[in-house]
Amino acid sequence: MLLPRTLLACCLSLSFSGVAAPAGDLPLMPWPQNVVQPAGGGALALTPQLTLHISGDHLAGAEARWRARISRQTGWPLLPASAASDHATIQVQIAQAVDPLPQPDSDESYHLEVNSSGVLLKAATRFGAMRGMETLLQLIENNENGTVIPFVSIDDKPRFPWRGVLIDSARHFLPVETLKRQIDGIAAARMNVFHWHLTDDQGWRFASSHYPQLQERASDGLYYTRQQMRDVVQYATQRGVRVVPEIDLPGHASAIAVAMPELMSAPGPYAMERGWGVFKPLLDPGNEAVFRFIDTLIGEVAAIFPDPYIHIGGDEVDPTQWNASPAIRQFMRDRGLHDAHALQAWFNQRVEKILAAHQRRMIGWDEVYHPDLPKSTLIQSWQGQDALGEVIKHDFRGILSTGFYLDQPQTAAYHYRNEPWPQGLNGEDRIAPGEQTQSWQFTMPRLKGSALQGSFTLVNGKNGWRGFIDFNGKARRMVQAIRWLSPNQLTFSVDTWMGPFQPVVTLTGEKLTGYMQVGNVRYPGEGHKLPQVPAGIAPSLPTPEQLDNNLLGGEAALWAENVNSRVIDTRLWPRAFVVAERLWSAKDVTDSDNMYQRLSAVDRWSTVSVGLQQHQQAEVQMMRLANSCDITPLRVFADVLEPAQYYTRQHLKFQAGHYDWFEPLNRLADVLPAESEAVRLLDKQVDALIANRGNRAAAAAIRRQLQRWQSNSDVVMPLILSNYQLKPLQQQARQVAQLSRMGLDLVSALEQNQAYGAGEVAQMRAQLDAAAQVQDETVLALVRPMEKLLRASR
């Protein structure tokens, strides 16, 4: 069911073109290109006698599915479908019958009209009809008068043709029924690609008939039969979703090494890889048997997956085995290949010819890009917009995944701001005469891998402060929201490949100290002042024509180190709808507050109508953690927590020595939403109170929430202490009570214009700093609005 709204009562008229399409308050996601509601409002009343008629093409099973979903949304057992009629409540008219198999250029446009005569959905093809039906289903509302659809006229088509979700079945095997449910979600979000990651170091999931040793020796018995894969393809096809399989070559090949060591660049021996990370086994480019193997395997893959693309992976190739092999080094010298990258390009050229012989096109990650490959090669970028910009400038086609990694907990607003193409600086990094600058080098140690390094530059101009940041090896970015918290303490924010990046640093003389917040996690930072502004790297900006021709869209990615079938829905939904909107809707649909309002509605709708299980999976995990006790206190406690963002959880597991397949995903962190909606709403109330200290409504709302969390702390503590998997969170439960009391005092001080002394402020600051630390892979989100209240009270 949809959230209550005042749309019909307000009778708003929303009319705009597909060029500028600010979203309205209908519960639609993705937001359509063109929405018009009559000034007089109105709605079509539905009854259990509603009828549905499809003409122009035969959509096998679609009518039954759509009727079943209407039944779930309304709660009615719909009467049996009547004979085809021109007077059906819902008329679906398809102009042209086409091949049921979706293609990269399938026409997905549609027109939807709801008025007193009924519903008319017109589409050029079956694919537009499917997209339009999802929009219609989102509009069905149970209100105080009955079940209705608001009067509306919608013209719609996607902004980008490639809108996908990558799901990794290699690291953690996912049952077919689990995958089918995600395909239902992909279709409901009006996305059109299921990118199926089938092989990796930790497992081979594709049942090969010619090389059965692959699944017999390298899958732990967990793989998909040929019939199961065909079934998944058929299921997706019926919903207008393409299935693009990924078979990793030449790296991420530990599973191949276990089953067929004779194909590898080093003799082994090899064992099943249980850890997560990048590993050394590589196929041997100098062995012709490798290419016979690939030819046969691609033939098998093509026979099951009819999509024109096959993904070869191609990322994270560790060249150790190639460089250590005298035979391979001689092979490279004989062909004038100067390094491992050139050897991989040579390998990919051979693979591309094999794919072409099977009437398939190559898609691979950034590392496969090479000027000598055919322009038909599609590049999927995990390295970011600048890498993608270079690809597009050289007339290769590309799609973006950076910034859409849903296995990393990130805020919906961060994904929403993530434009698929590189953004220019518009000359804002140029220093004008008379402007003052200061540049600072910084270093941020990470829990795993090398430290993050770079510099930022502050510019004091006639319009105030502005700035830009230069991460080592990355293109320059402008920063936002520069604020001086004190005469020598500074903060700003910038979106990065890691997520939102917000330093809080103190600049004393030549020295920089403080911390860098990546997402919701604080990392220590240090640095020093630079004598001059660094040169930096300019963003790689394609021309508008190159973007139009070569940027196809993007894919959300769900890698499975921290994902299994028991938690997958909590990781993927509803955030994938945000990515879907960025790839479907007009580029200036950017209002985050409006997005969150509609996301809340689509979250509930997708649970009821689509059958997604984000709430059910979280509920079951909490029931288990609560040892069959009432989980209400745990729910209330969970509302104030977030999983540690960026790769912090993975890195903490690595430090603890259990970053591997054996790590159970059985803690509260594994089902927490990526961000706390309760804290996000509280934060907005805090902003309202700070802007107007006489805002009694905001003050009352803050008090109610803080009092709820404060009183819950004592109730949840016995539950936490009763389960060893919750015990590490006991300190956070005490801190929730402590910070709630602090917040109540701060609200009163703000209302009464009372100021705290320096000692009291320092004591509260120390409490907030302690509460901000990661505990059991979670972060206490309440720290953020409390920091705002504390700053405002000084």
CB distance 340 to 319 below 8 Å = yes
Which residues lie across from 147 on neighbouring strands? Answer: 142
CB distance 284 to 264 below 8 Å = yes
Same domain? For 378 and 484 the reply is no
Active-site residue, from 113, 216, 316, 751: 316
pLDDT at residue 6 in the model: 35
We report the CATH number of the domain holding residue 455 as: 2.40.128.120
Same domain? For 551 and 658 the reply is no
Same domain? For 239 and 287 the reply is yes
Is residue 342 over pLDDT 80? yes
What DSSP assignment string belongs to 240-280? T-EEEEE---SSS-HHHHHH-GGGBSS--------B-S---
We report the CATH number of the domain holding residue 228 as: 3.20.20.80
CB distance 736 to 778 below 8 Å = no
CB distance 255 to 203 below 8 Å = yes
The pLDDT tens digits for 742-752 are: 999 999 999 99
Catalytic annotation on 787?
A: no
pLDDT mean over 690-698: 95
Residue 524 lies in a domain: yes
pLDDT mean over 601-612: 98
Distance CA 631, CA 470 (A): 47
The pLDDT tens digits for 280-318 are: 999 999 999 999 999 999 999 999 999 999 999 999 999
CB distance 256 to 264 below 8 Å = yes
| Residue ending a domain, choose from 125, 156, 187 | 156
Cα torsion at 115, 118, 123, 127 (round to 10°)?
120
Which residues lie across from 524 on neighbouring strands? Answer: 515
pLDDT mean over 556-574: 98
φ/ψ of residue 197, rounded to 5: -85, 105
Same domain? For 454 and 407 the reply is no
pLDDT above 90 as % of the chain? 93
Instruction: Measure CA of the first residue to CA of the last residue in the chain; give whole Å.
Output: 45
Same domain? For 228 and 342 the reply is yes
Distance CA 362, CA 249 (A): 12
Same domain? For 516 and 660 the reply is no
Same domain? For 745 and 654 the reply is yes
pLDDT at residue 22 in the model: 59
Give residue for tokens 């009924």: 118
Same domain? For 759 and 663 the reply is yes
Distance CA 178, CA 460 (A): 54
Give residue for tokens 């690291």: 171
Confidence of residue 82 (pLDDT cuts 50, 70, 90): low
Confidence of residue 87 (pLDDT cuts 50, 70, 90): confident
Distance CA 245, CA 166 (A): 10
Distance CA 241, CA 232 (A): 10
Residue 359 lies in a domain: yes
Same domain? For 11 and 128 the reply is yes
Residue 573 lies in a domain: no
What DSSP assignment string belongs to 333-390? HHTT--SHHHHHHHHHHHHHHHHHHTT-EEEEEGGG--TTS-TT-EEEESS-HHHHHH
Residue 179 lies in a domain: yes
| CA of residue 155 relative to chain centroid, distance | 27
Q: How many CA atoms lie within 13 A of 151 on its CB side?
A: 15
Which residues lie across from 521 on neighbouring strands? Answer: 518
Nearest to residue 452, comparing CAs of 400, 499, 385, 484?
499
Residue 718 lies in a domain: yes
Cα torsion at 560, 565, 567, 570 (round to 10°)?
90
Distance CA 220, CA 156 (A): 46
pLDDT mean over 720-724: 95
Angle of CA points 390, 396, 397, to nearest 5°? 105
CB distance 210 to 296 below 8 Å = yes
Residue 599 lies in a domain: no
Lowest mean pLDDT among 6-10, 83-87, 375-379, 563-567: 6-10
Does residue 59 sit in helix, strand or coil? coil
What type of residue sits at position 737?
A: A
pLDDT at residue 86 in the model: 73
Neighbour order of strands in the sheet with 146-150: 43-45, 146-150, 141-143
Same domain? For 166 and 152 the reply is no
We report the CATH number of the domain holding residue 120 as: 3.30.379.10
Same domain? For 264 and 341 the reply is yes
Give residue for tokens 């191949």: 256
CB distance 291 to 354 below 8 Å = yes
Same domain? For 459 and 374 the reply is no
pLDDT at residue 20 in the model: 33
Residue 588 lies in a domain: no
CB distance 773 to 522 below 8 Å = yes
The pLDDT tens digits for 3-19 are: 333 333 333 333 333 33
Distance CA 501, CA 28 (A): 30
Residue 605 lies in a domain: no
Distance CA 157, CA 33 (A): 7
- How many residues are given for the chain? 794
- Which residues constitute the domain of residue 447? 436-530
Distance CA 756, CA 746 (A): 9
Number of domains in the chain: 4
